[in-house]
Homo-oligomer: A and B are copies of this chain.
Amino acid sequence: MSTPPQPGAAFLLAQVGAHAAARFAERISEVGVDPPDVGLLRMIASQPGRSQQSLAEQLGVVPSRVVVLVDGLQRRGLVERRRNPQDRRNHALHLTAEAEQVMTRIRELASTHESDICAALDDHQRAQLTELLGAIAAQQGLTPGVHPGYRRP
């Protein structure tokens, strides 16, 4: 007797999660950034002046990867590296004025994205889903706001 291919919650999570991530990537390509960029921009926005090392640590990523990501954002004029006069080794990261506008647009896109992905659910179900996922995330020890797309070094 063969096992019927009834996907469980874990497979559905991976499937729907990857779909949601891919659709989000499509949307934000409008402003010329990709999901890792957005993660970094959000972290810099919430704590301006952070060093690349501290970002690497929180993301669970090797510092040389942050260099590449920040290079890209700097080329696009979204992030500034400012030498810290107290310790000229480290770079304080700040968003540019343009980045503030871009972040506003990203928040709009994220909101549309949210509605799109949850189009099958009513408000109650959406709240329920958020609660269930939040419980899993907490129990699994996921860092709030940090996407595991950044891999551990």
Contacts and interface: CB of A to CB of B under 8 A. Distances in A.
A132 B121 contact: yes
B118 A16 contact: no
A129 interface: yes
A5 B42 contact: yes
A136 interface: yes
Nearest to A119: B139
Interface in A90-120: 107, 110, 113-114, 117-120
B14 A46 contact: no
- What is the interface residue range for chain A against chain B? 35 or more
A144 B121 CA distance: 19
Interface in A114-145: 114, 117-121, 125-126, 128-130, 132-140, 142, 144-145
16 contacts: A2-B46, A7-B144, A9-B114, A9-B133, A10-B24, A10-B113, A10-B114, A12-B137, A16-B140, A16-B142, A17-B20, A117-B140, A119-B140, A120-B140, A121-B136, A125-B132
Interface of A: 2-3, 5, 7-22, 24, 42, 46, 107, 110, 113-114, 117-121, 125-126, 128-130, 132-140, 142, 144-149
